[in-house]
Structure 1
Amino acid sequence: MIETPRLLLRPHALEDFEPWYAMFSDRELFRFIAVPHLSREDGWNRLLRYAGHWSLLGYGMFAVFDKASGKLIGDVGLADFHRGLGERFDDVPEASWIMARSTHRRGLAAEAVAASHDWLARAHAPARTVCIINPENAASLRLAEKFGYRPFGSTIYKDGAYTMLERPAS
């Protein structure tokens, strides 16, 4: 488990499914995401995929909890999603973050992203990490830039346009 001043981050557990799926059912939150709505079955399979990352790779997505309330408020971490975007993208950990709308503009995403990247650097020391972001998602692009991600290309993924970004190891 990772603790920050306002957050707790840990790998997902089965009891996270209902609050996690409720967050993932917020269509407005997902307007910039390749899959804007998940069925319960798809959500369940995604949660199991997250567990598989930890089991097989030793890293993955963290469930993010507000320390004050104990509520699940986000998904942040690094994973290997095998998106098929090429060697320069698919062969390194991919950063991913999404936080409940109630947390926006409070610096919580930055706090969680910093904690997950710091943990990965200590535990695995990757040479670089990558992410893809919808070019219309200005807030996410600002967050990526804050953590040293720089554009290196663009791609179409699941019928949507995305900017590919990379971050060298610090």
Structure 2
Amino acid sequence: MLTQAPRLDTERLILRHFTVDDFDDLAAFWANPGVVKFIGGQPQSAEVSWSRLLRYIGHWQALGYGYWAVIEKQTGRYVGQFGLQEAKRDLTPALTAPEAGWALTPEVHGKGYAKEALNAMLAWADSEMKAPLCCIIDEENQRSVHLAEQAGFQYAHEVSYHSKSVGMFTRPAP
């Protein structure tokens, strides 16, 4: 079982393991109102981001999969995260497969980075996990809905999460 995220290279991005050195970038990312617009709606504190960072690192050690830090090759800057998790979310109905998730800083929206990173992540998952996947997406986040559908996720049903209805999407095992 992997204890660290393998490095995935795309044409313009590097997906790599998170380290504690990523804390400042991650905290700034999750404090950005544009990032959290469809992910809870409220900017997150540095304390919450620290717990998130430890969860990202720990997922690989505990489960052999997790999240990658997404780095822009040309500039070397942190632009987001893509990955898979078992978050034990309090959902009705509950998730039944590893959950895919992604977020990019608004400054790089529209460049095709999301599709590039998601394709790399899913190629790894198809090769290494060979499992069905799911994701939950706020119905107002049409960019993510479209991205998920392009990648083979299909709308399954609505779920209630934190008193809000969100769409559940599933993708069969390869």
Q: State the TM-score, normalizing by the size of structure 2.
A: 0.92
Say whether the 8 Å CA contact 2:34–2:105 is kept in structure 1: no
1:3 aligns with 2:9: yes
Distance between the aligned counterparts of 2:150 and 2:61, measured in 1? Answer: 30
Residues 1:41 and 2:35 are matched in the alignment: no
> Which SS does the other structure have where 1:153 is aligned?
strand
* Secondary structure of 2:33's aligned partner: coil
Q: Using the alignment, how far apart are the partners of 1:112 and 1:124 within structure 2?
A: 17
Specify the alignment match of 2:150 in structure 1. 146
Shift, 1:169, TM fit: 2.0
Q: What does residue 69 of structure 1 align with?
A: 75
Give identity over the alignment, percent: 36
Task: Verify the 8 A CA contact 1:34 1:157 in the aligned structure 2.
Answer: no
Q: 1:97 aligns with which of 99, 102, 114?
A: 102
Runs of 4+ with deviation above 6 angstroms? none
1:51 is displaced (CA, Å) by 1.0
In 1, Cα distance between the equivalents of 2:78 and 2:41?
21
Q: Which residue identity does 2:172 align to in structure 1?
A: P
Alpha-carbon distance between aligned partners in 2 of 1:38 and 1:161, rounded to the nearest angstrom: 21
After superposition, the C-alpha distances for 1:109-156 in whole angstroms (9 at most, x for unaligned) are 110011111111111211x10000000111010000100111111012
Aligned 8 A contact 1:25 1:38 in 2: yes
- Residue 27 of structure 1: which of 23, 33, 49 is its match? 33
Partner residue of 2:118? 113
CA RMSD in angstroms, aligned pairs only: 1.3
Amino acid across the alignment from 1:133: I
**How many aligned positions are there?**
168
1:15 corresponds in structure 2 to 21
- Secondary structure (helix, strand or coil) at the match of 2:35 reads coil
**Aligned equivalents of 2:162, 2:55: Cα separation in 1:** 19
Consecutive unaligned residues of structure 1, counting only runs of 5 or more, are none
Matched-pair contact (CA < 8 Å) for 1:84–1:90: no
- One-letter amino acid matched to 2:146: R
Q: Which amino acid aligns with 2:126?
A: A
CA distance in 2 between partners of 1:72 and 1:7 (Å): 10
Kindly indicate whether residue 140 of structure 2 is the aligned counterpart of residue 136 of structure 1.
Answer: yes
Using structure 1 for the length normalisation, give the TM-score.
Answer: 0.94
SS of 1:28 mapped into structure 2: helix
Judge conservation of contact 2:67–2:83 (CA < 8 Å) in 1.
yes
Q: Kindly state the Cα deviation for residue 84 of structure 1 after the two structures are TM-superposed.
A: 3.1
* Equivalent position to 2:166, from 158, 162, 166: 162
Query: 2:3: which partner in 1?
Result: none
Give me the whole-angstrom Cα distance separating, in 2, the residues matched to 1:90 and 1:135: 17
